[in-house]
Amino acid sequence: MTMAARFGLDGAHEHRPAPVFYDLTGNSDSETETLPKFSPIKEDASLVATLPRRSSSTLRLPQKRMIDDISSKDISPSPQSTQHQLPDHQNNQSLPTLQPPSRFKTPSPAPRANVEVVIPSPSPRQQKLIKTLKPAESPHDGFWDRRFPTDAEEREKAALRAYPQARRVDRSIISFALAPRHMPHTSITPAQALRYELNQKLKRISGPQVSFDMDDEKVAMLSANFGFLNEYKLQDGITRADPAFNAGCTCNGPCDPESCDCVEMEEEEDKPILTYRRVHDKVVLGSEFLKRKRHPRILECNEACGCQGKCWNTVVQRGRKIRLQIFDTGGRGLGLRSPDPIVAGQFIDIYLGEVISKKEADARENTDEKNQSYLFTLDHNRNDGAVIAEYGEDYDDFYVVDGQKFGSPTRFMNHSCNPNCIIAPVYTTNHADHLVYYLAFFALRNIQPKTELTFDYNPNWDGKNKIDPNAVQCLCGEHNCRGQLWPNARKKGLKI
Ligand SMILES: C[S@@+](CC[C@H](N)C(=O)[O-])C[C@H]1O[C@@H](n2cnc3c(N)ncnc32)[C@H](O)[C@@H]1O
């Protein structure tokens, strides 16, 4: 056999390295010439030189593949063929005897010619530490203590804190994403986990408490990804008017509703549109305003005003004052109510969501599989002189609020043909922002605690509209029910 074939260098002749064979018995007297005539020390040089030997068991014993390469008569090595001598005391031990190759029939992949062993070096910190250690007492068993640390050495290292110490942790202060801190150590259902997660989100809503008043299973009607908002979420392409264009009233001291510049005038009448008034301890919308078929916008005072936004005309910007509950209505999905009594004209909350372009709203509406809509177009100022002057008469790209994935509790308000709430456009901090304003809900009449809060989704209904078979069916159950929420023509691709 050539050297090249033996080391697997000559691929044309032999791809597999020649087998390495150690004579461990030292008592064979035959077949010397049939064994490969090579030095196992030489072939194993890389391994043998770098790997420390613990005992005779670390010597490479013939492996299955090696034995397959050799006929059964080849496996009685002679003392003469033994190239790797064992110390005397090891030679005296009873060493493993070779088994006939007939036991190994399964073919195995050829061994790789080059074997590389990478042993990670200790880090500089570990090296420094190792130098400081006194050599542990050797039990004189042939083990190299540096490579095979004794228990004594391990204990010393531990004493020197060579190993990272377990940190003491106060588990009671760890907050978990899905499990409440004080929850008993019982498993929770996915519905309970979802409820917990959504409750955590509810807690981040500003103002009095908002809660779920229903079973865990019903809470699952709401996606875990739903995000509650305290302010509009402006999406790509949505811009707000420059605050520099904001204007305020010139009132000197508390604003007078008869003369305050923030109070809009009736069309073609030299008369202010009366909005808020005081009833006992509350500032509420007056009945004249509530009774209107179309509710005009409300301009609340702000920092640019003579009153510096401290007068009565600041109801919506002061935020929600009642508690709210999201509950299961049955056929109409989730709904909204309050455990508190509400008086006529009282502010309830604003409608929040993502503010998106009309184009984006069209795309979302057309891909929405469910027949639910949370879209509100901010087009109240369509006929406003200032808007027409700025954007033109045919302008139709008004922004849209989408409360489907992000929103405020009012996003759960259902439609009723006999509603108990109205919705009005309200400007707070910037009167020049005609494209982004708030949609604010007010009570239309006194509302008893736990009564569902509803509004009219189609306030322009004139009573003569035919029932559209494609419209979403109304389930409000009121005596004057129209039978439909709104024509669903766009979703079905129909023309109306
Ligand atoms: C703004 S969401 C109201 C909250 C909704 N119920 C929920 O569970 O998320 C509007 C949707 O509620 C449902 N809805 C609201 N009022 C309804 C009514 N009177 N009859 C039937 N479905 C109604 C319709 O599916 C509608 O598209």
Domain layout of the chain by residue ranges: 3-103, 124-159, 198-492
Cβ of 372 less than 6 Å from ligand 1: yes
Q: Is residue 22 annotated as a catalytic residue, yes or no?
A: no
Ligand 1 centroid to Cα of residue 414, in Å, is 5
Among the atoms of ligand 1, which is closest to the Cα of residue 457?
Answer: 16
Cβ of 41 less than 6 Å from ligand 1: no
Among the atoms of ligand 1, which is closest to the Cα of residue 370?
Answer: 25
Please state, in angstroms and as integers, the Cα–Cα distance from residue 160 to each residue in 168, 255, 434, following that order.
19, 76, 71
Ligand 1 centroid to Cα of residue 139, in Å, is 82
pLDDT for the residue 55: 39
CB 255 within 8 A of CB 311: yes
Q: Which pLDDT band, with edges at 50, 70 and 90, does 307 fall under? A: very high
Let me know if domain 198-492 sits in CATH 3.40.50.1100.
no
Q: Is residue 457 annotated as a catalytic residue, yes or no?
A: yes
Nearest protein Cα to ligand 1, atom 24 = 372
Percentage above 90 pLDDT, the chain:
42
Lowest mean pLDDT across 66-75, 393-402, 440-449, 470-479? 66-75
pLDDT in tens, 249-270: 999 888 998 899 999 999 888 8
Ligand 1 centroid to Cα of residue 206, in Å, is 25
Tokens 């993502």 belong to 354
Active-site entry in 196, 351, 427, 438: 351
φ, ψ for residue 328, nearest 5 deg: -90, 120
pLDDT for the residue 74: 41
Per-residue tokens: 406: 């992000």
Q: What are the E-state strand segments in 289-419?
A: 298-299, 324-328, 334-337, 347-351, 354-356, 375-377, 400-402, 406-407, 414-415
pLDDT in tens, 350-384: 999 999 999 999 888 887 666 568 999 999 988 88
Buried b (16+ CB within 10 A) or exposed e, 212-248: bebebebbbebeeeeebbeebbebeebeeeeeeebeb
Nearest protein Cα to ligand 1, atom 26 = 372
CB 488 within 8 A of CB 470: yes
Written as one letter, the residue type at 72 is S
pLDDT in tens, 67-98: 344 444 444 444 444 444 444 444 444 444 44
SS3 265: strand
**Burial (0-12, 13-18, 19+ Cβ within 10 Å), 135:** exposed
